[in-house]
Structure 1
Amino acid sequence: MKRLLGVALGVLTAIGGFVDIGDLVTNAVVGSRFGLSLVWVVAVGVIGICLFAQMSGRVAAVSGRATFEIIRERLGPRAGLANLGASFLINLLTLTAEVGGVALALQLASSVSPMLWIPVAAFAVWLVIWRVKFSIMENVTGLLGLALIVFAVAVFLLHPDWNQLAGQALAPAVPASEESTTYWYYAIALFGAAMTPYEVFFFSSGAVEEKWGRKDIAQSRINVLVGFPLGGLLSVSIAACAAIVLLPRAIEVTSLSQVVLPVAEAGGKVALAFVLVGIVAATFGAALETTLSSGYTLAQFFGWSWGKFRRPAQAARFHVAMIVCLLVGIAILATGVDPVAVTEFSVVFSAIALPLTYLPILIVANDRQYMGKDVNGRLTNAVGLVYLALIVVAAVAAIPLMIITGMGS
């Protein structure tokens, strides 16, 4: 029972990280344009994030320290600063997108302008981080986010042509109406959405928050193997709903309301209510994760006191850093920029920053000074090197493909 309850961290990381505003929009866009021909990227992303999150969680459980803190110590301040710069800027961009995503989700539920919801969403994020215990935060947000399972239910209620969907998934091909460069651009966007850096830093820091030790390594594996595949299943369900309803009608996703359209068509008002609860919970959970990750990365790099297990007065700089990040996010959104556009930028730039994020984790997980007998095995290292190569290729190709395709337009 304890292990089952402990899976909440993995569920929160999956719901708030794997199925955040980036995945909601990107998977729906891909489904409406390419069907399920890019579902293989989700599978690759799930395996990759499971691999690196498991390493990160194991490092935290064995050392009792968060990954970013060890990265600075192990690689030195210069390499650590490069890692910090890439991770923090992408995290800040993602935080902005998530706060905007909460506002868009609340607009769907209330018909009130998202510009009015943005400061409310940011204040709610700050209030939860300031006052709510970590365990309560992860349990409530993770469980409410499970309402997104309605996307999977909707796939069955829509009575699709299963042979056609299977053909799209098992024999992927570029549709005649699309360019191959656009196909690969969205493949990288999906990959970046699945392996956003903040997921790993949040998972590692969350393990320290919950005081994991060597005895909890098995718990870490359960969290990873339950949470992230669940997120992958929900991502595929979002793409499948778009492929069934939007693709035949040539409707391209440009707003969050179009993402939920297939669910409303499948299950009416009841299904729509579930999906709205799930989207608000997922985007709010992601906003909590990215805000905390901003504080975690800065505090761990500079050696500040950090963590929700400490009173705010005992970790003042940690909390001030998060407040500043939220204010920056509000300022960016106040310019009137489309949160969906911010989301598209964030997932692509996540792919660009991946090498600086994941290489240090791979190095630390192989360091016996920190890990002792719990260093990576040969199989983990072999798969890790394959993924490192994929990450480098994605990072190098992202900007050229973004320019050539005009961000997939």
Structure 2
Amino acid sequence: MQPPRRRLPTALVRGGLVLAAGWTAALNTAAVAGGSFATAGSAAAVATSAALLVPRVPWWAPPAVAAAAAGWFGWPFLFLLVIAVVDLAGRRRVAWAVGLGVAALALSAVVGGPATLWVPQQFGSPLVLVLGIVVGLWSGSRRRLITALEQQVTQRDVERGLREEQARASERARIAAEMHDVLAHRLSLIALHTGVLEATSNSLPPKVAERAALLRTASTEALDDLRSVLTVLREPDPTEVEPPTTGDLDELVAAARAAGQEVRLVVTGEAALVPAAHRLAVHRVVREGLTNVRKHAGGATSAVEVTYGPPLTTATVRSPLRSGSASPAADPGFGIVGLRERVHAVGGTLDVGARHGEWVLGLHLPTPEHRSAPGTGAVVR
């Protein structure tokens, strides 16, 4: 890709044109006066050029000076007047541009002389002034169009960033909701069993009974703390949060097949032997992959391969890319943004894109050794 060409700033180009037109006006005025620069025309050329170049002056002052100089001294100041007219037209002050042009032509006709604006040809100067107005209108419209397009691009970048952040926040809220239910179930079991021990504390040694009561209190408090902390991460509107899932791939694939999708599922290992966060991440990857295939490549056969660790828990969704049809890899949307947030939160990596004529969505999660047991072979469902 070639680097973009650098364009000269508009103000620099305009300044060069003003200096060239001012120098030309001084030379032509001197030629009309017999070759002497010590004339009122030369001073007017300097004054008009300065008025057009000096910033922070009233907008009407430079065009008025240029019109007066062109009307009095004639055609040597025509290009300076054209620059002033272009400036007015570019700012949508067309009436002023027309009025000053007509005033300069009328003044030149009254003053007369060898350098009158009517000398080159009868309609030459009016046509040049009209051309200046047209050029000014075009350049002003183009400048406003470019500014509007730049603002639209900036606004779209900001909106996309906000949507991506919203997708990440929504995914964190789903993680909080799911982990709340998973951990709450296990803490409830701990509290239940320690409660049973506490109820039979008369038959237990005093130290064991004391530890059981402490454990029950700690598990109950931990459950309350978990609820209070994770509830903060939920969506403001609870109806927008998807219900937690148990990570059952069979139910997910059955629902996809019921919707008309062709899905081949291959599972290796035991889901119960990996952390709950890993099972939920696998479920989300498979669900997102099947959803994208259904949306962008309806009718395509999907291959889902899941392996529960160690050393890795992996999940891959593949579907063939069709020529002439939109692929899920073309515009994965913000679902992939939220999914990547979830995978990174549990220390994994996500692979999305076209591979060897297939669209691939892949997950890789390191799995602790102590969570595993002798694995089972691959099961095709």
TM-score (norm 2): 0.20
Bigger Rg, structure 1 or 2:
2
Q: Which has the higher strand share?
A: 2
Higher RCO structure, 1 or 2 (CA under 8 Å, sep 6+)? 1
